[in-house]
Chains A and B, each alone.
Chain A
């Protein structure tokens, strides 16, 4: 049975414990931000912000939606990745930092804007579903932190069954537009939502599409694997990357988040 998360926007209080939990578990640095006339910060996902809560305001209404990689079953990033760095591990979409060459196709292809790369490393980074926690029997960091139970983690089937009951309750209590998002979209998302508004009103595509550039990716992949000439510089590149990773690991232990 695949695992998944269900984000119930009707229970979210926008406290953003999830944002901090993600940064703490993955040792991600704080970004410099500004007060831009909203509580929402940072303004975008990035290589060092893998999840963030979006705030939607209207008279008598303030909606919060946690955003991150949706871990699509039919993942565009996987389809366009020339090196196979972006791949599925069970229900989760993972970008192998060892194999990522930072080409950026996945960044462009993601229908949710969830993949980002930033200097100096240049590799594509995003939510990894806390795969180390999850495979060790822990809940993902964000789901653990959530005070109100707005982020639930569990068996996908159980979550869907619960979600249908919850949506019916919400409809009955006056949220006529309540719905489950992610059950079927892109072959099924491992990050699903209970929404009280149409997806487009909380920053989600109504009908997300898989990137169609698979052919391009295959073509690029062909080039890469074809020539022996191409292999050498990549091998060097990866070796250098490993060194950088080692260095970074070291510096993290030294002075994280100072």
Chain B
């Protein structure tokens, strides 16, 4: 949207104020010169955009004068940030005006010591040739069992979470058509475990409520996150809730800027969330028995699986659930099941008394987490722990709301999935899911992390999070014979192959690659290190800094034949061949560094953590020869189509038949419309995902976003500022939320069996018996209330519709159990299983022992830097704020080691050592764990060897060990030692 200054003033409601303001002052102040209306020395506002950093999705307005960005500030009309921005967002103009930006195509020949400048034509031709040559000579038509798989394992793609949706969609479209299976992005190593946990508990992975909705909460518990730093404008809503009397609990190993505003700061040793939250669950279960009137027992009984009976063979003993196979380090999950009746429905005991019902199993499992044990494991103070339990448990009453806010600090553990599972169980016991001011929030951390992932930038997902076809799914029938999955896949194939996709050729399903295994990020790094991957395309991702045991990944990059990096900056990954301590002449990898456009220099949509699809406008041209990803991927696609048309190759039709008619330069709106999809009989845009058909008469590149770009227009660009029904801040006509513009998930759990809100002050939806309609938010499942014969609120949990306290689908157990992290200074007090018995480990990552590395370390983020810092370490105003890599250490440890603040220190783990500045602080303190003093240090992971501010990478020290559900590495806990440098 274009805003003139006049519009801007009008919109911000300040115009009138300005007129009143311009008048002489009172006599008393007349001594002073009269205040004259000075002209603004630069413009304010013009084009709206969405901030490219975190997942809050703040709006900003960009002013351009003389072809230069002169000012960017918060969009005063944006309902989330209302004009404010964090320091990263505030320094956006320095992304546009920055001499460190890449403005030319750069090429590094094998063994060369410097970059050469090249033209785009040359680079596109070269890269397309490399892709074709590597693909064709490493083509896998059939697997060992003779099944047609049409894939290539010698080329990998990494990234991203920053491109617009339309760009990410086209990346997936081209790369899947080429047969790639190694496709991963940052979400894998950031929050994938939270997605797995929430899916197991509720049916869907992402954040349940919205940022604005935090303002409705009575108590917010930030755990495994640091909202003031990672989601600063979400903190606006936390502060608003606090003004209304809400309490803020912060659970963290470090006292951070979030703790500074907390009513209760609960300090725990890193990696002990499960023990802590299990203790809270026990507190609630015990209190529930004594004071059931303080809890919403009806919610528990009707909307969760508490009453379901579990297989009598299920058991739990000494840290192991039934079915453990120690040779495979995996579980046979066949006993983790509900007992089913003759109709296949779970058997129930609504009195919740049957010893085999989930509720009783919970009581048994969590009874072991008594206060003393919890405090011994976590190092938490007993008083503070009990106060936190009491405060958060108070949200269990009807009409009270408690929210959990997390970020990657909850996720990046070998038990990351179980951390978030524990949060989910606690929230269900308290009836906090589906209601205003409740939920589990903050899951995706980057501006378009959720959007890009949903466009298929993860190995196991096609666009729309459709499961990647596997080798045992040779035909469309084998992939999905009927149902929604089939119509979604057929509609995707119609979007990709147009008229070339017919019922006669199974809509081109045969052309798609069929994966044969797991291709997650850490495995990808391993395969690269082993030389199995020959070519890597890196879309804005920076694995040389973000990968665990990053030194090994830097080595692995040198084993590639070719590497293409598309970025705004010369990242550590792009420049790995000239990193400190290596001789470039010995590194044979060819490297192409393609200059990319920033978010200000292109148009498209992004999807925030809260699932809001919002539209960005282009404010200026990219600098020099930099180009938008949309342009780059289109040039590559057209060149590859040309090469395969002329020269042929294995499965060439997958590429030659692919539709790619977006114009030149490509028009982002054409892509957005393809993603939304068409009714192919009428040629009209589809208005809802419910219209998708399996007979080839509809197309939709991504069913999840179907309904976002309709005949009504581009709904992601909507800017209607009205707060919407019940005044709880839904903003239903601002942007668009997937799916079906539903703002609060599982909202059918916010009402009783008759459809009346549990909380009449903050209703989300409400059944109107007269019109027989739901009022309020878009209901999560359109069926009437249960009392009127309708369905249950957790519609993704088929067939029963209840949220799962007991989750049968995870790799490491149906209930959360405490294990120590892979490297830990203490013994597990709960069982003889020291660490998660099914964690994934790679032998290449050496393990440190407590005698050599007695200190427990954790890593963290800062508000001033984004992730690897590849962006923010190039921005002078942010570098001014956080100029150098540092390590936070307690005064006690500093005294022991003779270290003073500002000293250079060496931090060493079994993987390597780094040098950083010591920051001695009272905000970190040693723990007394089971009678032993355990020191803890903490360091940000945002530094590397390139940029305006250079420094050691924390991930040089972190281990290559991961959660069994999603392969998320354990970045947040490892052993180290420190000394003065």
Contacts and interface: CB of A to CB of B under 8 A. Distances in A.
A2 B228 contact: no
A35 B228 contact: no
A258 B82 CA distance: 29
Given A15-B232, A148-B236, A131 B38 contact: yes
A15 B883 contact: no
Contact of A16 (B12, B14, B87, B259): B87
Contacts of A147: 81, 84-86, 232-233, 235-236
A88 B883 contact: no
Contacts of A82: none
A41 B87 contact: no
B51 to A, nearest CB: 12
Nearest to A63: B260
B846 interface: no
B199 to A, nearest CB: 31
Q: How large is the interface on B (under 10, 10 to 19, 20 to 34, 35 or more residues)?
A: 35 or more
A132 B232 contact: no
Interface in B9-25: 9, 12, 14-15, 17-19, 21-22, 25
B886 interface: yes
A241 B174 CA distance: 59
A92 interface: yes
B895 interface: no
Interface stretch (B353-361, B447-455, B491-499, B871-879): B871-879
Contacts of A138: 9, 12, 14, 18, 40, 44
B32 A88 contact: yes
Given A15-B228, A20-B90, A88-B31, A59 B257 contact: no
B635 to A, nearest CB: 29
Give the most central of B90, B236, B921: most A CB within 10 Å.
B90
A37 interface: yes
B91 interface: yes
A19 B86 CA distance: 10
A13 B29 contact: no
B883 A34 contact: yes
B93 interface: yes
Nearest to A11: B239
A251 interface: no
A33 B878 CA distance: 11
Interface stretch (A22-30, A177-185, A199-207, A230-238): A22-30
B920 interface: yes
B71 A35 contact: no
Interface string B904-926: 00000000000001111111010
A60 interface: yes
A111 interface: no
Contacts of B800: none
A131 to B, nearest CB: 6
Given A91-B29, A92-B35, A147-B81, A17 B884 contact: no
B91 A89 contact: no
Measured as residues with beta carbon below 8 angstroms from the partner, the interface class of chain A is: 35 or more
Nearest to B238: A148
B99 A258 contact: yes
A149 interface: yes
Nearest to A90: B35
Interface of B: 9, 12, 14-15, 17-19, 21-22, 25-26, 29, 31-42, 44, 66, 68, 71-74, 76, 81, 83-87, 89-91, 93-94, 97-100, 228-229, 232-233, 235-236, 239-240, 255, 257-261, 265, 863-864, 876-886, 900-902, 917-923, 925
Interface of A: 1-3, 11, 13-17, 19-21, 23-25, 29-39, 41-42, 57-64, 87-92, 131-139, 141, 144-149, 253, 255-258
Which 8 pairs of residues, A with B, have the shortest CB-CB distance? A137-B18, A37-B901, A30-B876, A90-B35, A88-B32, A35-B884, A20-B90, A62-B260
29 contacts: A2-B25, A2-B29, A11-B239, A13-B261, A15-B232, A16-B863, A17-B89, A24-B93, A30-B880, A33-B880, A35-B886, A35-B917, A36-B902, A37-B918, A57-B921, A60-B265, A62-B255, A62-B257, A89-B34, A89-B35, A90-B25, A92-B35, A135-B18, A135-B21, A136-B37, A144-B83, A148-B232, A148-B239, A257-B877
Given A13-B261, A20-B877, 16 more contacts: A3-B21, A11-B261, A15-B86, A15-B863, A21-B90, A41-B883, A64-B257, A88-B29, A88-B32, A136-B40, A144-B74, A147-B81, A147-B232, A147-B235, A253-B66, A257-B877
